[in-house]
Structure 1
Amino acid sequence: MGVRRAAKGIGDFLVELVGEAVAEVFLSLLACAVLVCLGLLAYLSWSFSPRLTLAGAGALSLCLTHGAWGTFRNPAKGRRRRGMTAVTIAGFTLSAATAVFLFLYASDCGCL
């Protein structure tokens, strides 16, 4: 009985180890792909129109700032977040999650 249990424990450990290694490689490749796509998007938009790129970056910054402000402030009593505030909060949350993901997994990316 002890040998079977030990063999099962070793097998479970190896399956978990390989699964984590594959997941780490997949997440690193995904982070590199996201980083490359963001760089390509910036390059293409700049080559199309530098003025529109700067205007778009400014508008995106304002939307993200509004989303951060809406996230960290307390809403008035009895009111919930609606409309544009909810949209900018969702955009800010998605941007923050993407930034954390890229910080964790693309920092050792060999594609740079």
Structure 2
Amino acid sequence: MGVRRVAKGVSDFLVETVGEVVAEVLLSLLACAVLGALVLIAHLSWSFSPRVTLAGAGLLSLALAHGAWTAFRAPAKGRGRRGLAAVTSFGFLLTAATAAYLLFYATGCDCP
């Protein structure tokens, strides 16, 4: 009985370890793909029109700043976030989550 329990414990440990390694590899590959797609979008946008790229980056920065401002301030009493405030807050939180994900997983991409 002791041998079976030890064998089951070892097999559970191996399955968990292999699962974690596979998940780590998949998350790293996804992070490298997202980072590559962002670089490709920036490159294609800049090659199409630098002025439009800078204008778009400025508008995106304004939207993210508004989202951060609305996300970290208390809404008026009796009112939740509505309309533009809800959209920019969601955009800011999505961008922040993506940046944190890339910070943790895309640092090992070894991109040339």
TM-score of the two chains, using structure 2 as the length reference: 0.97
- C-alpha root-mean-square deviation of aligned residues, in Å? 0.7
Match in the other structure for 2:52: 52
Q: 1:10-31: per-residue Cα shift (whole Å, max 9, x none)?
A: 1000000000000011011101
Match in the other structure for 1:81: 81
Secondary structure, in 3 states, of the residue corresponding to 1:106? helix
After the TM superposition, list the runs of 4 or more consecutive aligned residues in structure 1 that deviate by more than 3 angstroms. none
Deviation at 1:55, TM superposition (A): 0.2
Q: 1:21-45: per-residue Cα shift (whole Å, max 9, x none)?
A: 0001101110100010000000000
TM-score of the two chains, using structure 1 as the length reference: 0.97
Match in the other structure for 2:13: 13
Name stretches of at least 5 consecutive residues in structure 1 with no aligned partner. none
**Percent identity of the aligned residues?**
71
Letter in 2 for 1:80: G
Q: 1:35-84: per-residue Cα shift (whole Å, max 9, x none)?
A: 10000000000000000000000000000001000110001111110001
